[in-house]
Structure 1
Amino acid sequence: MIVGALLFLEGDVQGMILFLLQEGFASATLEALLGEPVNSLDGLDEMAQSALQEVANIMAASYLNAIASLTGMTITISTPSLCTDMLGAILSVPAIYYANISDKIIHIEDELRGENLCAPNHILLIPDTGSLEKIITRLGLEL
Structure 2
Amino acid sequence: MGFSKYITTLLFGVLLTATSCNPLGEDKSELKIFEVQSQDFGHVINDKALPEEPNLNLDKTILNRDYPIEIALYNDGRWYYDLPNLDTGVGTWKYENGKLKLFAQRERFDMYIDVVATQESAKTMAIKFIDRFGPKSLTVEKINQP
- Which structure is larger by alpha-carbon Rg, 1 or 2? 2
Q: What is the TM-score when the length of structure 2 is the normalising length?
A: 0.29
More strand by share: 2
More helix by share: 1
Q: What is the TM-score when the length of structure 1 is the normalising length?
A: 0.29
- Structure number with greater CO (CA < 8 Å, separation at least 6) is 1
